[in-house]
Homo-oligomer: A and B are copies of this chain.
Amino acid sequence: MPYILIQVTREGVSLEQKQQLIQGATDLVVQVLNKDPQTTFVVIDEVDTDNWGVAGQSVTQLRLAQQLNTPPQK
């Protein structure tokens, strides 16, 4: 019966990673709570970085700031 929502920023989560999230989250409630995987929902919600804020800034802005502060790779 569990419903698991995994909300992350839309930053290139691959099909394989989505499958790992679905399998991993299902396994978690099966192992910890002995739930039936057949009636365990996992929903992955990808949110644009413009639409997700942390510390009062959008993730788009945070990522930009991170890039500016990263010394160029040799």
The oligomer's copy count stands at 6
Considering only CB atoms and an 8 Å cut-off, how many residues of chain A contact the other chain?
50
Question: A32-B20, A32-B24 known; A51 and B46 CB under 8 Å?
Answer: yes
Q: Which of B1, B17, B58 contacts A9 (CB 8 A)?
A: B1
Chain B neighbourhood of A3, CB < 8 A: 3, 5, 7-8, 41, 43
Q: Is the CB of A55 within 8 A of B40?
A: yes
Residues of A participating in the B interface, judged by any CB pair closer than 8 Å: 1-9, 13, 15, 17-29, 31-33, 35, 37-47, 50-59, 61
5 other contacts beyond A40-B56, A42-B52, with CB at 8 A cut-off? A4-B25, A17-B33, A20-B32, A28-B28, A43-B51
